[in-house]
Amino acid sequence: MANLYKVVNADSTPNKEGQIIEYIQAYVEIRSYKTRQHLFITQLGNKEMMIGYSYLYKHNPTINWQKSQWEFTRCLNICAYKAYKT
């Protein structure tokens, strides 16, 4: 991995694992929307995965927080052809 990423927690404290030095490529599937992503490896406490701002900004999903539902209705053409419907 060419670049190292300094990791801070949500409360701005340094992550105990330090810099991110590894990532994997994997498919991320949310409802019927599946994309291939780089997933950076670090310690997240009791969480398995955290979705970053860049992903949310890029796909701009409509999220119903009360029903825990996601809809990808605002994707631009540039990412729509890369997504896989399942």
In the complex with Zn ion, which residue's Cβ is closer, 7 or 79? Answer: 79
Residue in 29, 63, 79, 85 binding Zn ion, rule: CB under 5 A: 79
- Helix H or strand E segment including 62: strand 62-64
CB of 2 to Zn ion, least distance (A): 25
Beta-carbon contacts of 55 under 8 Å, excluding residues fewer than 6 positions away, are: 37
Under rule CB under 5 A, residue 59 binds Zn ion: yes
Query: Dihedral (C-alpha) 69, 73, 76, 80: value to the nearest 10 degrees?
Result: 80
In the complex with Zn ion, which residue's Cβ is closer, 19 or 32? Answer: 32
Binding-site ranges for Zn ion (CB under 5 A): 59, 75, 79
